[in-house]
Structure 1
Amino acid sequence: MGAYIGAKIIVGGEVYGTACFADTEPREDPFVDAERFFVELIARLGGHAIERRSYERELTQREERLNEQREIYRAVIDANFDSVFRFDTDGTFTYASESVRDLLGYSPAELDGQPITVTHPDAQTTEWAWKQLSQILSGKPAEARDFPLKAKAGHIIHTDIRGVPVYDGSVPESERSEDDIVGIQVLVRDATERRQREGLISVINRVLRHNVRNEMSVIRGWADMLAEDLDTEQATKVTAIRAAAKRLLDLTESAQQIEQNREISPELEPTDVMPLVNRIVTECETRYPDVSITVDAPEEAIAETLPRVEVALFELVDNAAKHGGTPASVEIDVRVSDLQVTCRVRDDGPGLPNTERGVLEAGEETPLVHGLGLGLWLSYWIITTVNGEIEVTDFDRGTTIEIRLPTPSRE
């Protein structure tokens, strides 16, 4: 080339190319400052234009991705929850999904800026809600079952809710703490139909239990009188009648226990399992003096659970004592790790039938026709509703059932 002048085009801090002027013919006069400044200006303007175009393209792509994520989020919420609320850290509504119209009769705009108490039917509800909000603001999700909300028209709607903290988006996830929480998001599901259905089941359950207990008491009473009047051989048959009546009475008691422990939104707390185990052993040794019960456990075993796990553990030990060998031998083994407390109950009996194993392996309801199956169902229900796990493990002899409970968080 005979003449050339150019300048680098910088995009994003890196060289993108050049802006230049060239000719095949030589130039007689040297380039002056104004010409050099003009070329630099063209290069800078070109770099800025390219940066702006790239930024606009990236912004468009980000917006498309964000819209796609919003749509996925909306679809998930619509499929699983009736409404979504967001509050600031002071408990003031900052957002309500459009579906709140159908749930509570408010428009989203009517709730915006209102305190959460506007949807509470009484002070007791508010007190309980603030306790849950405090937990969420410490970084831990919270759940509630049959939580009452007052609709705009004044009637009460019972809901299942789950609240989670909302963090400052500018803080990396790995660095977040409770100081970075800027709000609370609550997912709400209308529980009215489920509550009505469970109420009906509860009434039927109580009526059936009452009638069965009354009729079985009559049967046992007549059986006792027959046993006194009959000879030894015939009295043996009466003993079978009395045993069957007792099993049915025990069945009604297990059904009552299940109903009393059906709550599925517990507030877990650090609980020492060992006092529960010791009480169970003492009671079972009193009930079954011929049964050998041994315990291998530490002095303390703290789990994040509730004291009602004692009912589940008792069912397992009691069943092992009743259905183990002759006489039965029961071993209770408790181990503690950083993540969980493990309790194993082992007997030397004939092993758990497959129909009963299904209760613990899949939570199947069909084995409820068996007395033993109902006790196992009660254990399964309680353990799984306190975030625990329960299963039948394979050993050389008898039956071993293992319960795993989480340990308290060390955060």
Structure 2
Amino acid sequence: MDENTPIGRADGGDRYGHLIEHIQDAVVEFELTDGVPVVVGVNRAFTETFGYEAADARGEVLNDLIVPVWLRDEAHALDDRTSAGEITYQRVKRETADGLREFLYRGIPYADDRSDEGGFAVYTDLSGFVQNERRARVMNRVLRHNLRNKANVIVSHTARLLDAFDGQSAERTDAVAAVERAADALQRLTEEAGEIHRVLNAAEVTKTIDCVPTVRRVVETHRRESPDAAIDTDLPTSMAVRATGHLDVALDSLVDNAIRHNPSETPRVRVRVVAEAPGWTTVHVEDDGPPIPADERDVVTGDAEITPTRHGSGLGLWLVKWTVETFGGELSFDESDLGGNDVRVRLPRP
């Protein structure tokens, strides 16, 4: 195939090639070599989305171009299904010219008698739709549920305080403490909602920054504000990533959560910056506190649906997730060797 020949023209399908070349979905034609998809041709939308010119992509392994290293097993499973002649539909994350984005993937093998030879991969960008839908649902669920509950606590305990004003001191103390906790939670929820609004409506363009000074500033702030906490770092001299000034908001929220939700008198926190797979850096915020509930993690990562009773206990992790996604990055969770959580912010490198 000539390097300027669009998909579909190799066999004389000029009309179909013209259609594929001008649709908005990214389309790749590939051959399967030992079960591995090798690019035969791409359309204009693929070039614009993933940043590879047709001539540069042709002959390369598709997974090497656009599948993040940590998602290769998933991609291999999809390739096996294509090789077996199956038409496959699945939501996937792929590495674009602007970082990670979510797509509806459709793997379409050639006709049955050629299914093991290759086929087509079609990527429909879902990022904007999925993010907007989930943001609206989370803000609706969390704000309605949490604001209502905290307001009810304040009202009911205020009534108790008034009724028991002349009662025992212990009862008054408990009621006052409950009101203070609820008021503090409401204030924090309002601040997080405000930060989310600022992040999502910011005009600031993603650029290249050194994330190490940002991490140091966040850590030093929390060392001053929480002197009982032991906050360690493991940082390189510098690490360039694609982000904006909002990165400090996300990291501040994670370190604050690691301290705030740890009942220990001396919470342990460790912040590490690690160069990962080619083109990626991960900031680890680790602690020795109680594990983040699985339901909360799964809702935030998208592994579980948002429901009236399952939407997360607050907006802190959503703030981090949506901030990182504006950089083309990803939020994920694991266990730390400190005994608690390892919350990971994966960022693209320039």
Q: Same fold (TM over 0.5)?
A: yes
Deviates more, 1:341-350 or 1:298-307: 298-307
Going from structure 1 to structure 2, the CA distance change for 1:385 and 1:229 (only over 3 Å counts) comes to farther
Which of 293, 296, 305 in structure 2 is aligned with 1:353? 293
Partner of 2:247: 309
Partner of 2:227: 289
The aligned runs of 1:1-400 (5 Å cut-off) are 64-74=12-22, 76-77=23-24, 172-173=55-56, 231-238=168-175, 239-263=177-201, 267-327=205-265, 328-336=267-275, 339-362=279-302, 365-366=306-307, 367-368=310-311, 370-371=313-314, 374-396=315-337, 397-400=339-342
Distance in 2 of aligned mates of 1:334 and 1:229: 56
The CA deviation at 1:259 is: 1.6
Given that residues 393 and 400 in structure 1 are in contact (C-alpha distance below 8 angstroms), is that contact kept between their aligned partners in structure 2?
Answer: yes
Going from structure 1 to structure 2, the CA distance change for 1:351 and 1:174 (only over 3 Å counts) comes to closer
Going from structure 1 to structure 2, the CA distance change for 1:240 and 1:307 (only over 3 Å counts) comes to same
Going from structure 1 to structure 2, the CA distance change for 1:165 and 1:279 (only over 3 Å counts) comes to closer
Q: Secondary structure of 1:64's match? A: coil
Q: Secondary structure of 1:300's match? A: coil
Distance in 2 of aligned mates of 1:308 and 1:230: 49
- 1:208-244 deviation digits (Å, cap 9, x = unpaired): 8xx98xx79x869969x86997653113322112202
- 1:21-68 deviation digits (Å, cap 9, x = unpaired): xxxxxxxxxxxxxxxxxxxxxxxxxxxxxxxxxxxxxxxx75832221
The CA deviation at 1:250 is: 1.2
Going from structure 1 to structure 2, the CA distance change for 1:291 and 1:388 (only over 3 Å counts) comes to same
The CA deviation at 1:252 is: 1.7
Q: Specify which structure has the bigger relative contact order, considering alpha-carbon pairs within 8 angstroms and separated by 6 or more residues.
A: 2
The CA deviation at 1:335 is: 1.8
Going from structure 1 to structure 2, the CA distance change for 1:231 and 1:354 (only over 3 Å counts) comes to same
Taking only aligned residues, the RMSD between alpha carbons, in angstroms, comes to 4.6
Going from structure 1 to structure 2, the CA distance change for 1:264 and 1:241 (only over 3 Å counts) comes to closer
Partner of 2:4: none
Distance in 2 of aligned mates of 1:228 and 1:301: 58
Which structure has the larger Rg over C-alpha atoms? 1
Amino acid of the structure 1 residue aligned with 2:273: V
Amino acid of the structure 2 residue aligned with 1:72: I
Q: TM-score, normalising length from structure 1?
A: 0.48
Partner of 1:407: 349
Q: Secondary structure of 1:173's match? A: helix
Q: TM-score, normalising length from structure 2?
A: 0.55
Amino acid of the structure 2 residue aligned with 1:69: G
Amino acid of the structure 1 residue aligned with 2:223: E
Given that residues 273 and 302 in structure 1 are in contact (C-alpha distance below 8 angstroms), is that contact kept between their aligned partners in structure 2?
Answer: yes
Amino acid of the structure 2 residue aligned with 1:233: A
Q: How much identity, in percent, do the aligned residues show?
A: 27
Q: Secondary structure of 2:12's match? A: helix
Given that residues 263 and 385 in structure 1 are in contact (C-alpha distance below 8 angstroms), is that contact kept between their aligned partners in structure 2?
Answer: no
Task: State the number of aligned residues.
Answer: 242
Q: Secondary structure of 2:259's match? A: helix
Distance in 2 of aligned mates of 1:284 and 1:335: 21
Distance in 2 of aligned mates of 1:355 and 1:302: 33
Distance in 2 of aligned mates of 1:67 and 1:351: 56
Amino acid of the structure 2 residue aligned with 1:251: L
Q: Which has the higher helix share?
A: 1
Partner of 1:6: none
Distance in 2 of aligned mates of 1:334 and 1:288: 22
Q: Which runs of 5+ in 2 are unaligned?
A: 1-8, 27-46, 59-124
Given that residues 360 and 392 in structure 1 are in contact (C-alpha distance below 8 angstroms), is that contact kept between their aligned partners in structure 2?
Answer: no
